[in-house]
Amino acid sequence: MADENSNREGLLSKTEKDILYYEDCPGCRIDHRKETNLGAPYKELVYIWIVALCAGLPISSLYPYLYFLVRDFNVAKRAEDIGYYAGCVGSAYMLGRGLTAVLWGALADRYGRKPIILFCCTTMIIFTTLFGLSTNFWMAVSMRLLLGAFSGIFGPVQAYATEVCRKEHQTLALSFTSSAWAIGMIIGPAIGGFLAQPAEKYPNVFTKDSLFARFPYFLPCLCISVWTTAATIACLWLPETLHKHKAINEESHGTGITEKTQENNETGSTESESLYRNRPLMSCIIVYCVFSLHNMAYGEIFSLWAVSPKKFGGLNYTTDNVGEVLSVTGLGLFLFQLALFPKLERILGPLMVARVCAALSIVVLGSYPFIAKLSGASLSLLINIASLLKSILSTSIFTGFVILQNTTVSQHQRGAANGISSTAMSLFKVFGPAGGGAIFSLAQKRMNASFLPGTDLVFFILNLILVIGLIMTFKPFLVLPRRPR
């Protein structure tokens, strides 16, 4: 009996389900808390919301001033070449993230979610700050590449969100992470647009001899670094969720089984199974990437379309007008994801939510060319409604697939699975802005075409991608995880 107790090293307790808990295992402590606390862990969810926002802010914050940043480096011989160099800077982040996301996920599975999140937050502070202090083109590209390579936050955060909650609260937790990322993508451009070149915009606050005059794009980077510092401090109070003991799958008492064995049965996975041979996981990731490509292209096209003249089928908006639309969109999205999405997912399930939202997105996008023909208050009202609906539908699709993806693997593979997803998504997103910009330029050259003239072509192609994604949510393209009999 003494040997048995020493082998189990601090066995804490057994619940009615006869699950074993170990005192020195952080994952067991979380599981024990979930058994005794039936409510949602809102404190931890607020912390991971703050952290997840850090993953979205650096991606899009530079777009409003990227053209001027490259211009000031004097690397382009002609004005027409600025876009090419700007594309290199913009794509460097996604390339870096795509190269290392699997590594961060695997490290999170081995050493824990918390240390990886803390480390990546710290490196994001460093490289975001250094990017704002870039003095030439190659330094800017290098800092963005390193920033992407060390931004392995979102995968571990998604895994953490599913592990810190009871199953009935996992949808709410993933809504927190998805809404934070989406809001970061929306308010990031506002931070970059309002805070870049502060000595020129706010001469009464920032003098011509100040640091911000010498480095005109440092202030938005500094603000993001300050937020990431707050996120890093918040992470210190996050409890670890990874199990750090050997599962005793062979031992059972009566009808009881260990939680890890039960989880493997529910997902249909085994410890030795390769993630790349996990068909439900791979099919979820592929469909997820199709919708990600669409969303990234849409984000690029929406800004271009909104500021384009009416003669090219645009809205003739200013950057301030676009910022106002995105602000309303961000607020509405946040409220929907936290208040309504969990109830909707509980009724329909994650897959049906994704299918319905994809179908409705096609309808919303189809209305954009007609909205562009309006003016005044009717234009302002409808474009705000359409933008809000489009963001809600897109984020709901992503959240649904994140839920599906995390049900295809057990905990010990969840970090790596999210890493593979982040890698694939990042590589798809490298082509999203470039493809969206190219399609938009082509559309403006064929305003008088008899078939799909002007922006009709743009929204037709975006809807075509949505249709492909919707079709892929059905068999045989999408394989659902096996359920226990």
**Which pLDDT score is estimated for 482?**
62
> How would you write the chain as a 3-class SS string?
CHHHHHHHCCEEEECCCCCEEECCCHHHHHHHHHHHCCCCCHHHHHHHHHHHHHHHHHHHCCHHHHHHHHHHHCCCCCHHHHHHHHHHHHHHHHHHHHHHHHHHHHHHHHHCHHHHHHHHHHHHHHHHHHHHCCCCHHHHHHHHHHHHHCCCCHHHHHHHHHHCCCHHHHHHHHHHHHHHHHHHHHHHHHHHHHHCCHHHHCCCCCCCCCHHHHCCCHHHHHHHHHHHHHHHHHHCCCCCCCCCCCCCCCCCCCCCCCHHHHHHHHHCCCCCCCHHHCHHHHHHHHHHHHHHHHHHHHHHHHHHHHHCCHHHCCCCCCHHHHHHHHHHHHHHHHHHHHHCHHHHHHHHCHHHHHHHHHHHHHHHHHCHHHHCCCCHHHHHHHHHHHHHHHHHHHHHHHHHHHHHHHHCCCHHHHHHHHHHHHHHHHHHHHHHHHHHHHHHHHHHCCCCCCCCCCHHHHHHHHHHHHHHHHHCCCCCCCCCCCCCC
Q: In percent, how much of the chain has pLDDT > 90? A: 18
Give me the pLDDT at residue 323, please: 67
Inter-axis angle of helices 279-307 and 376-407, nearest 10: 160
Taking residues 314-328, what's their average pLDDT?
74
CA 477 from chain centre, in angstroms, equals 23
**Confidence (pLDDT) at 433:** 59
Instruction: With a cut of 50, say whether residue 147 has pLDDT above it.
Output: yes
Confidence of residue 34 (pLDDT cuts 50, 70, 90): confident
Distances (CA, A) of 197 to 192, 201, 214, 460, 475: 9, 6, 10, 37, 51
Can you tell me the distance from the alpha carbon of 364 to that of 135, in angstroms, rounded to the nearest whole number? 43
Q: How confident is the model at residue 7, as a pLDDT?
A: 42
Q: How confident is the model at residue 313 (pLDDT cuts 50, 70, 90)?
A: confident
Beta-bridged to residue 11, according to DSSP, are 22
Per the model's pLDDT, the better-predicted residue between 227 and 296 turns out to be 227
Confidence of residue 11 (pLDDT cuts 50, 70, 90): very low
pLDDT in tens, 432-484: 656 666 677 677 777 777 788 878 888 899 999 999 999 999 988 988 766 54
Count CB neighbours of 70 within 10 A: 23
Residue 14 confidence (pLDDT) above 50: no
Tens digits of per-residue pLDDT, 200-222?
Answer: 888 888 888 888 889 998 999 99
Per-residue pLDDT band at 94 (split at 50, 70, 90): confident
Give the pairing type, strands 11-14 and 20-22.
Answer: antiparallel
Q: For residues 361, 191, 428 and 102, what is the CA-based torsion angle, rounded to 10 degrees?
A: -120
Instruction: Give mean pLDDT, residues 64-77.
Output: 80
Q: Give the residue-averaged pLDDT of 137-141.
A: 92
Statement: residue 182 has pLDDT above 90: no
Distances (CA, A) of 316 to 101, 374, 387: 39, 11, 16
When pLDDT is averaged across residues 147-165 and rounded to a whole number, the result is 84
Give the pLDDT confidence score for residue 248 in this predicted structure. Answer: 42
pLDDT at 83: 60
Banded model confidence at residue 356, pLDDT cuts 50, 70, 90 = very high
| pLDDT for position 249 | 40
pLDDT in tens, 272-300: 467 778 888 889 889 988 998 888 778 76
Confidence of residue 391 (pLDDT cuts 50, 70, 90): confident
Across the strands, what pairs with 14?
Answer: 20
For residue 485, the model assigns a pLDDT of 36
CB atoms within 10 A of CB 445: 10
Task: Yes or no: say if 314 and 360 are a contact pair by the CB < 8 Å rule.
Answer: no
Please give the backbone phi and psi of residue 14, each rounded to the nearest 5 degrees, phi first.
-130, 135
pTM of the model: 0.71
CB of 178 closer than 8 Å to CB of 129: no
pLDDT at 473: 93
Highest-pLDDT range among 261-270, 296-305, 324-333, 350-359: 350-359
pLDDT higher than 90, residue 176: no
Q: In degrees rounded to 5, what are phi and psi of residue 184? A: -60, -40
The mean of the pLDDT values for the chain is 79
